[in-house]
Amino acid sequence: MNKPSAATTTNASAAPVHPRASLAEPAPWPGAPKVATGAEHPEDAPLSIHDMTVAYDRKPVLWDIDYNAPQGKLIGIIGPNGAGKSTLIKAVLGLVPMASGKVSIFGKPYSKQRRLVGYVPQRESVDWDFPVSALDVVAMGLYRRIGWCLPVTRRHRNAAREALDRVGMADYADRQISRLSGGQQQRVFLARALVQDALVYFMDEPFAGVDAATEQAIIALLQELRRGGKTVLVVHHDLQTVETYFDELLLLNMRIVAAGETGEVFTQENLHKTYGGRLTLLDQAAEAMARKGVRR
Amino acid sequence: MLLVVVGLGTAAPVLTHADASAGFWARAVRMISLRDHNTRVVLIGTSLLGMSAGVVGTFMLLRKRALVGDALSHATLPGIALAFMVMTHLGMDGKSLVGLLAGGVITSVAGLACVLLIRRTTRVKDDAALGIVLGVFFGLGVALLGVIQSMRGGNAAGLESFIYGKTASMLTSDAVLIAVAAVGVVLVCALLFKEFALICFDVPYAGSQGWPVLWLDVVLMGLVVIVTVIGLQAVGLILVIALLVTPPAAARFWTDRLDVTVIVAAVIGAASGLVGAGLSAMVPRLPAGAIIVSVATAVFIASLVFGTTRGVLVRVIQHLGLTQRIAEQHLLRAMYESAEASQRGSAVSNDRAVGWSSLIDARSWSQRELRRLIGRARRHGWIVEAPAPSQRTSTDVAAQSANDPGTSDRWFRLTETGLAEASRVIRNHRLWEMYLITHADVAPSHVDRDADQVEHVLGPEMVRSLIELLEVQGRGASVPPSPHVVGVPPALPR
Ligand SMILES: Nc1ncnc2c1ncn2[C@@H]1O[C@H](COP(=O)(O)OP(=O)(O)O)[C@@H](O)[C@H]1O
Ligand SMILES: [Mg+2]
């Protein structure tokens, strides 16, 4: 893939943190913020949200969001349905207008840093009957690099094939996407984000409706990205796996309930605040807590 | 034959009034031989129109904007009427095509603006907003045509042809205008192919990548307006939406690739335009629009049935094939499991014969089904007829005597290839069972039926990962033991 070109991109667009500088040392700066506010250098963060409020039709969905994501971490975004998790990602990516606030990616507005950001939308957001192959979908991740009106060439297709290989889907490159299983479709979406060779990834429920094998494959991939110094924010639903999957958490329900290292913020109390009276989920959480107790 | 010769002899290069009385065959020959310059131009024009409609229609359909296209085309009518009124008022030729079409474009765009306005300011749903605009604009157009008629007598005759389409009135200059616009539309689509594909497939992703989704949408709908407007004269505003929608819908039955869909839709559209305009040139009373759309619809129906990718016929054949394969695998499993039950402990070999009656009991097969199934398995070389075993177990004998005597003494055993195939099927099946038990929290007693459905879709890659998951890797192609009690097959057929 185009590793060299991606690196030049990074330098050219003056992202202050070099992607591979932090390979050995995971914490990018001393005293990386554990809670949302009070970061020493928020402008350096892969993602920095300041005072964000988002409303649909005058109905506020997100209030006063302040958050700085540490670099090189797997960050889980959790919260009940309708908490605004998808909206948070969409607002960061400029897909939904903000009523107020400021977002920056490595210190610059998102519109200047698009190449550094990979996005995996919710799988249900598209019509999988669309007449394209898995390879075609992955190649869409290169369209920006290809540019206006120019066709996809063999070189791009090779890059796309490589990305498919990374998610274990090389054998399905030419298959029409409706003939893939849910887990395979999700992997195609991942490959489309991977082929961009970004530094920050936003993934909206990549584990929703996938089989166990795919879930393992995806989590292995996320860990590989982390090893490469990338920052990955993942909307996640299964409270049972939260602790094993994520270094950091963002608990969200219209506001940020808590943010920071998983070990510190994944507590009964915070989950109560996040999920309110939703009993089934609390049961799940209690179970997770119990197991946590057993392990320790 | 004679007629053809006569026709050729009398065919003149230019259409004159005398020719109007010539017979059908004479016109047909002139048409097919493309002697007449005007006919030639009209045919080329309508073919290019059909081609551009197929191309733009593909993207419109994939963007799920067919209803918008319909509203746009209906909203052209008041514009045409108004343009006519304004032009005659100014003392110009009221029927100048460019002027009329410009009027159509203006009200069509105004209609779209109304839809957006309704969407913004009210809680009316999209389809309702489109319906309102379509009805109001079309009604207004019809009313204006009435006003024109009462004002100017027969002078406005011909304006209604925009509703149903009429190639007969098409001038060479009109056809040239249509052709140029159509080629332009196709060129824009070719240039923006991947951009259109992206906004049709995944708007959020396109937006996140910084593509101007709104403007690409505007360009796409602009192309739809252009095709609609140049299609008014040939096809008419009621049917032009059919020309936009039918060719791509038909093309989808032949391919799963976007580029091929666009090309096939373009060809179907062009052929419909050509045949439709040609037929209506031969039989002037036939309205061209109706024929063009009928041809496209005929192609659609043929595609629906015979389409190689999603056609009904292909699906039926595939389904039958799958059902057959499942039944064959069931037979192999029945043979294998019966042998396994009697050779408990040792490796399953193929030297043991299985009786007709125990096969019948294994599944809810009828005698006839089983006979056919066995015939097929023998043709595959999976099983052969075997002599009855000398010492039968008591249960076998009891079961055999309960059956019809004609088939009861038939015995079969697996061949080498049959045993290999049966082992593969059984192995996949049991891997799935194990997978479901360990990973999906399914109670073991419920597993068998679910596993039956999925074992037939297991590919080699899945099997590989399952083996890893189950940590049975060292055992290669061997068959893991069934996690539930074998010999009590599920009673319910699927
Ligand atoms: N396009 C939209 N228009 C209006 N309301 C919306 C829209 N999208 C989401 N919402 C509302 O915003 C809230 C948050 O939605 P979302 O971000 O999708 O939640 P989550 O992803 O956490 O389940 C929900 O109450 C939802 O109904
Ligand atoms: Mg969501």
Q: Which of A210-214, A268-272, B423-427 has the highest mean pLDDT?
A: A268-272
Q: Using CA atoms, how far apart are residues B494 and B491, in angstroms rounded to an integer?
A: 10
Give yes or no for a contact between A78 and A274, defined as CB atoms under 8 angstroms apart: yes
User: Which of the pair, B73 or B438, is modelled with greater confidence?
Assistant: B73
Name residues 42-101 of chain A within 8 A of B (Cβ).
Answer: 90, 93-95
* A276 Cβ neighbours under 8 A, 6+ residues apart: A80, A253
Q: How many CB pairs under 8 A join A and B?
A: 81
Residue of the CA atom closest to atom 16 of ligand 1 = A84
**What is the A244 CA–ligand 1 centroid distance (Å)?**
28
A170 in contact with chain B, both atoms CB, cutoff 8 A: no
Band of the pLDDT at B254, cuts 50, 70, 90? very high
Q: Using CA atoms, how far apart are residues B317 and B323, in angstroms rounded to an integer?
A: 10
- CB-nearest to B210 from A111, A131, A176 is A111
User: Which of the pair, A293 or A290, is modelled with greater confidence?
Assistant: A290
User: Which of the pair, B299 or B152, is modelled with greater confidence?
Assistant: B299
Residues of chain B contacting residue A193, judged by C-beta atoms under 8 Å apart: none
Band of the pLDDT at B403, cuts 50, 70, 90? very low
Closest CA to A198 of A259, A121, A145, A124: A145
pLDDT digits (tens, 9 = 90+) for B67-100: 999 999 999 999 999 999 999 888 887 778 889 9
What's the average model confidence in pLDDT over B101-113? Answer: 94
pLDDT of residue B34: 67
Q: B38-307 adopts what CATH topology?
A: ABC transporter involved in vitamin B12 uptake, BtuC (1.10.3470)
User: Is it the case that residue A205 has pLDDT exceeding 80?
Assistant: yes
Q: Which atom of ligand 1 is nearest to the CA of A87?
A: 17
User: Is it the case that residue B172 has pLDDT exceeding 70?
Assistant: yes
User: Are A132 and B258 inside 8 Å of each other by CB?
Assistant: yes
A133 in contact with chain B, both atoms CB, cutoff 8 A: yes
User: Is it the case that residue A62 has pLDDT exceeding 90?
Assistant: yes
Q: A9-284 adopts what CATH topology?
A: Rossmann fold (3.40.50)
User: Is it the case that residue A156 has pLDDT exceeding 80?
Assistant: yes
**Mutation for testing the A interface, residue in B194, B196, B214 having most A CBs under 10 Å:** B194
Residue A176, φ and ψ in degrees, nearest 5: -65, 140
Three-class secondary structure of residue B465 per DSSP: helix
- Per domain, the residue ranges of chain A are 9-284
Q: Using CA atoms, how far apart are residues A165 and A163, in angstroms rounded to an integer?
A: 5
Return the half-sphere exposure (C-beta side, CA atoms, 13 A cut-off) of residue B64.
11
What's the average model confidence in pLDDT over B413-442? Answer: 74
User: Are A132 and B440 inside 8 Å of each other by CB?
Assistant: no
Residues with C-beta atoms within 5 A of ion ligand 2:
A 86
pLDDT of residue B447: 46
Residue of the CA atom closest to atom 24 of ligand 1 = A82
Which is it for the CA torsion B294, B300, B305, B306, positive or negative? positive
pLDDT digits (tens, 9 = 90+) for B42-76: 889 999 999 999 999 999 999 999 999 999 999 99
User: Are B261 and A131 inside 8 Å of each other by CB?
Assistant: yes
Which chain B residue lies closest to A193 (C-alpha atoms)?
B205
Best mutation site among A53, A54, A56 for ligand 1, i.e. most ligand atoms within 8 A of its Cβ? A56
Which chain A residue lies closest to B209 (C-alpha atoms)?
A114
Q: Using CA atoms, how far apart are residues A96 and A54, in angstroms rounded to an integer?
A: 8
User: Are A117 and B255 inside 8 Å of each other by CB?
Assistant: no
Residue-by-residue DSSP string for B203-235:
HHHHHHTT--HHHHHHHHHHHHHHHHHHHHHHH
| Distance in Å, alpha carbon of B20 to nearest chain A alpha carbon | 48
User: Is it the case that residue B188 has pLDDT exceeding 70?
Assistant: yes
User: Is it the case that residue B277 has pLDDT exceeding 80?
Assistant: yes
pLDDT of residue B38: 78
Q: Which atom of ligand 1 is nearest to the CA of A79?
A: 22
Which chain B residue lies closest to A132 (C-alpha atoms)?
B257
**What is the A111 CA–ligand 1 centroid distance (Å)?**
23
Give yes or no for a contact between B99 and B160, defined as CB atoms under 8 angstroms apart: no
Q: Which atom of ligand 1 is nearest to the CA of A204?
A: 21
Which chain A residue lies closest to B441 (C-alpha atoms)?
A212
HEC secondary structure over B80-129? HHHHHHHHHHCCCCCCCHHHHHHHHHHHHHHHHHHHHHHHHHCCCCHHHH
Q: Which residues line ligand 1 (CB under 6 A)?
A: A 56-57, 61, 79, 81-87
pTM here is: 0.79
Q: Using CA atoms, how far apart are residues A285 and A272, in angstroms rounded to an integer?
A: 9
Three-class secondary structure of residue A18 per DSSP: coil
User: Are A130 and B201 inside 8 Å of each other by CB?
Assistant: yes
User: Are A131 and B257 inside 8 Å of each other by CB?
Assistant: yes
Of all residues in chain A, the percent with pLDDT exceeding 70 is 79
What's the average model confidence in pLDDT over B384-407? Answer: 58
Which chain B residue lies closest to A133 (C-alpha atoms)?
B257
pLDDT digits (tens, 9 = 90+) for B200-253: 999 999 999 999 999 999 999 999 999 999 998 888 888 999 999 999 999 999
What's the average model confidence in pLDDT over B350-354? Answer: 76
Q: Which atom of ligand 1 is nearest to the CA of A252?
A: 22
What's the average model confidence in pLDDT over A100-111? Answer: 92
Q: What is the Cα gyration radius of chain B?
A: 34
Q: Using CA atoms, how far apart are residues B327 and A246, in angstroms rounded to an integer?
A: 46
User: Are A132 and B197 inside 8 Å of each other by CB?
Assistant: yes
Q: Which atom of ligand 1 is nearest to the CA of A81?
A: 23
**What is the A121 CA–ligand 2 centroid distance (Å)?**
9
Band of the pLDDT at A38, cuts 50, 70, 90? very low
User: How far are the Cα atoms of A118, A123, B130, B479 from residue A214, in angstroms, in the given order?
Assistant: 20, 14, 42, 25
Q: Using CA atoms, how far apart are residues B388 and B390, in angstroms rounded to an integer?
A: 6
Closest CA to B203 of A119, A270, A106, A135: A119
User: How far are the Cα atoms of A36, A49, A205, A208, B117 from residue A89, in angstroms, in the given order?
Assistant: 16, 11, 11, 17, 28
Closest CA to A52 of A37, A63, A43, A41: A63
Residue of the CA atom closest to atom 21 of ligand 1 = A86
User: Which of the pair, B474 or B194, is modelled with greater confidence?
Assistant: B194
> Rounded mean pLDDT of chain B?
79
**What is the A88 CA–ligand 1 centroid distance (Å)?**
10
What's the average model confidence in pLDDT over B466-470? Answer: 64
User: Which of the pair, B338 or B245, is modelled with greater confidence?
Assistant: B245
User: Are B462 and A213 inside 8 Å of each other by CB?
Assistant: yes
Residue of the CA atom closest to atom 3 of ligand 1 = A56
pLDDT digits (tens, 9 = 90+) for A106-118: 989 999 999 999 9
